[in-house]
């Protein structure tokens, strides 16, 4: 089944209701969304394997709460793209604004361009591949999951990180609290190769990346630091 939803005549409520309805959008169906014109909350809350192609730039929270769909944004995405995603794939062919993949619990987010500040904030299992640069405080309080950056990273990368793994090919302006560089072992090379392949990156060697993660110094309260709290 293939369907077209034109936001020049349909509302965002119409769009999401149809995509969330198993009868209207059964598993395996393909949908094209036209005339997006920067609308917010496009293609949110889908809980089955659909293919959704969004033509144009979108506003806030595109593909939020995705649970199984493969959603492509053919343009730029506003703040919070793929927020709290738990399964499926979201692909942005342009740039993404702040907080891309925020609190994501699973699935794969691929951004062909750059991502702004706080990319992967509080990530909880999502995998994010950014082919350009990421802004400051990316992976802030990242708990689990993987962030791959083919470009540069801004200030305070991985601030207050838990157990997420960060791979950066370019320069890192500065590392956040408790984030350190770690060895790139064979297991990480294999993991990184899989993530790059899933994002369609086939011409970049894994040894071009450096790995970052938690120093684990902030895991426990230390009485000597009580005055700082």
Tell me the CATH number at 135: 2.160.20.60
Q: Is residue 125 part of a domain?
A: yes
Average pLDDT over residues 19-44: 96
Q: How many whole angstroms from its chain centre is CA 105? A: 10
Tokens of 209: 């990346």
CA distance 66 to 135: 24
Average pLDDT over residues 47-59: 97
| Confidence grade of residue 228 (pLDDT, cut at 50, 70, 90) | low
Does residue 225 register a pLDDT over 70? no
Domain that holds residue 59: 2-217
CA distance 147 to 113: 15
What is the number of domains present in the chain?
Answer: 1
CA distance 73 to 63: 9
Q: Is residue 20 part of a domain?
A: yes
Q: Is residue 228 part of a domain?
A: no
Average pLDDT over residues 127-145: 98
CA distance 37 to 183: 45
């Amino acid at each position: 089944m293939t369907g077209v939803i034109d936001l020049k005549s349909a509302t965002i409520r119409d769009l999401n209701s149809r995509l969330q309805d198993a009868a209207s959008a059964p598993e395996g169906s393909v949908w094209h969304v036209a005339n997006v014109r920067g609308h917010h909350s496009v293609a949110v809350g889908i809980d089955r394997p659909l293919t959704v192609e969004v033509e144009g730039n979108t506003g806030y929270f595109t593909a939020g709460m995705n649970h199984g769909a493969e959603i492509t944004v053919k343009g730029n995405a506003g703040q919070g793209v793929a927020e709290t995603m738990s399964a499926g794939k979201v692909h942005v062919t342009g740039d993404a604004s702040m907080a891309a993949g925020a609190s994501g619990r699973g699935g794969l987010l691929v951004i062909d361009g750059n991502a702004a500040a706080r990319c992967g904030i509080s990530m909880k299992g999502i995998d994010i591949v950014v082919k350009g640069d990421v802004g400051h405080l990316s992976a802030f309080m990242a708990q689990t999951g993987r962030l791959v950056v083919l470009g540069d990273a801004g200030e305070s990368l991985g601030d207050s990180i838990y157990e997420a793994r960060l791979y950066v090919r370019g320069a890192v302006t500065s590392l956040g609290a408790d984030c350190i560089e770690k060895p790139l072992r064979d297991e990480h090379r294999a993991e990184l190769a899989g993530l790059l392949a899933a994002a369609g990156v086939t011409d970049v060697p894994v040894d071009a990346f450096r790995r970052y993660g938690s120093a684990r110094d902030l895991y426990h309260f230390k009485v000597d630091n009580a005055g700082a709290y």
